[in-house]
A and B are shown apart, each in its own frame.
Chain A
Amino acid sequence: MTTETSAPATSDADTTVAAPATPGDSNAPGEDTAHGPSTGISNTKLAMWLFLGSECLLFGGLISTYLLYKTRRGPDNLAIPTDVFDIPFTSISSFVLLMSSLTMVLALAALTRGDNHGARVWLLATSMLGGVFIGGQVYEFTSFLREGVGFTNNPASSAFYALTGFHGVHVSLGIVMLMSLFVASWQGKLRQEHSETVEVVGLYWHFVDVVWIFIFTVIYLVPA
């Protein structure tokens, strides 16, 4: 049995040397040895990525619910969303959302270069594209309702509206954020130094887009 006897990690000598200076003399008031983030990465960005990781489980749950229920018509055999999908229409709005990722990343690129005006334009474009997508979703929902697919019809339609509705709410919040950035930019408060803020909002926006990439394929295109 090899029992190692030692202080972990460092040699004792080092440890001793590292003993802190006596309080009072070495650290004068205000001489706070500030230290940056230990990993050197931005807190806000890291937080956003963690949040997006967690969102994967949220959307995963909603998507699984839909997949489990997608053909369940309930006892009255009512219509389910797949009956009334309008693939051409949804393809267009999916494409719009996809392209909004491009405008988003261009907004960020512009701002990082210091091109405030370009950033503003692209931000506006992004939120408009998002707005078109939401408009399309509102249209889709109302036409589905007209065609008899109501939220309370059956498990399939409840699950469909819950999933796409949650996604829509995410997009809408994204639009609110983008518009806030746009307004800030307009007021001249959004400048090159703020590109990280735009980047973080962008991450959120792209995430919402990739979720839709998933939804579009798995919910709309994969045949029942």
Chain B
Amino acid sequence: MSTTTSAHEAAADGAPEDAAHEHPEHEHPSDWAYVKIALILAVITAVEVFTYFETVLDWGSFLIPSLLIMMVIKFWLVATWFMHLKFDNPIFSKMFVGGLLLAVGVYVAALAAFEFWA
């Protein structure tokens, strides 16, 4: 399973390239790799749901941070593997992460204006 990044970086020298490079077929992970990711996702989800049911452990103030961390990991796994951000041209990541961070920043500030800075 090769995870080489795209050929575009090689193109940086500006030399015209032939068609193969123009639209490179990335060597994508095998199906089995995808299944493994899905299994990890399933396990994390199970843990998340577990936090809801189990009453023995006292999560206390760790509950919300751990839920958020698990959420971020799931988000990241889907984005990097299933959406191929890991293998694809970094421009895609920039566009998407740009929007994502902007959204987080702006809305967190707005909610803060309601809740904490009011």
Residues of A with Cβ closer than 8 Å to B?
36, 39-42, 45-46, 49-50, 52-57, 59-61, 63-64, 67-68, 87-88, 91, 94-95, 98-99, 101-102, 104-106, 109, 112, 199, 202-203, 206-207, 209-210, 213-214, 216-218, 221-223
Question: What are some 5 contacts across the A-B interface (CB < 8 A)?
Answer: A56-B99, A56-B103, A95-B45, A213-B78, A214-B75
Cβ-defined contact, A39 with B8, below 8 A: yes
B74 touches A40 (CB 8 A): no
Instruction: Decide: A98 near B42, CB < 8 A? Known: A54-B99, A206-B79, A218-B71.
Output: yes
The 3 closest A-B pairs by CB, nearest first: A53-B99, A60-B103, A217-B71
Contact between chains at A53 and B83 (CB < 8 Å): no
How far does the alpha carbon of A209 sit from the alpha carbon of B63 in the complex, in Å?
A: 23
Provide the residues of chain A in CB contact with B37, threshold 8 Å: 102
Are the CB atoms of B99 and A57 closer together than 8 Å?
A: yes
With A41-B91, A61-B107, A213-B74 in contact, is A102–B38 under 8 Å at CB? yes
User: Separation in Å of the A122 CB from the closest CB of chain B?
Assistant: 10
- A91 pairs with B103, CB closer than 8 A: no
With CB as the reference atom, state the residue of chain A lying closest to B64. Answer: A222
Q: How close is A63's CB to chain B, nearest CB, in angstroms?
A: 7
Tell me, in angstroms, the Cα distance from A221 to B25 when the chains sit together: 40
Expressed in whole angstroms, the minimum distance between the Cβ of B96 and any Cβ of chain A is 5
Question: Interface digits, B103-118 against A, CB 8 Å rule (1 contact, 0 not)?
Answer: 1101100110010000
Q: Choose from B11, B71, B82, B96 the contact partner of A104 (Cβ within 8 Å).
A: B82
Q: Is the CB of A53 within 8 A of B11?
A: no
- The docked-state distance in angstroms from the alpha carbon of A217 to that of B51 is 11
Q: Within the assembled complex, what's the spacing in Å between the Cα atoms of A161 and B76?
A: 26
In terms of DSSP, what is the predominant structure of the interface of chain A?
Answer: helix
Distance, CA A95 to CA B68, complexed state (A): 17
Question: By the criterion CB–CB under 8 Å, are B25 and A223 in contact?
Answer: no
Chain A residues, Cβ within 8 Å of B17: 40
> What's the nearest-Cβ distance from chain A to residue B22, in Å?
5
A63 contact set on B, CB distance < 8 A: 107
Contact A112 B25, beta carbon cutoff 8 Å: yes
The answer to whether A49 and B102 touch (CB under 8 A), given A91-B45, A217-B71, is no
* Option from A36, A55, A101 in Cβ contact (under 8 Å) with B78: A101
Are B102 and A223 touching (Cβ within 8 A)? no
- A91 contacts B25, C-beta separation under 8 Å: no
Structural contact, A53 and B82, CB atoms closer than 8 A: no
**What's the minimum C-beta distance from B15 to chain A, rounded to whole angstroms?**
12
CB-defined contacts of A94 to chain B, threshold 8 Å: 45
Chain A: minimal CB distance from B11 (Å)? 6
Task: Give 1 or 0 for each of B28-53: 1 = CB within 8 Å of chain A CB.
Answer: 10110011011001100100110111
Contact of A213 among B21, B71, B95 (CB under 8 A): B71
Contact of B103 among A57, A99, A202 (CB under 8 A): A57
A95 surroundings in chain B (CB, below 8 A): 42, 45
Q: CB-CB < 8 A to B104: which residues of A?
A: 60
Asked if residues B82 and A102 are in contact (CB atoms below 8 Å), the reply is: yes
Q: In the complex, how many angstroms separate the beta carbon of B49 from the nearest chain A beta carbon?
A: 4
Given A52-B96, A53-B99, A218-B71: A106 in contact with B31 (beta carbons within 8 A): yes
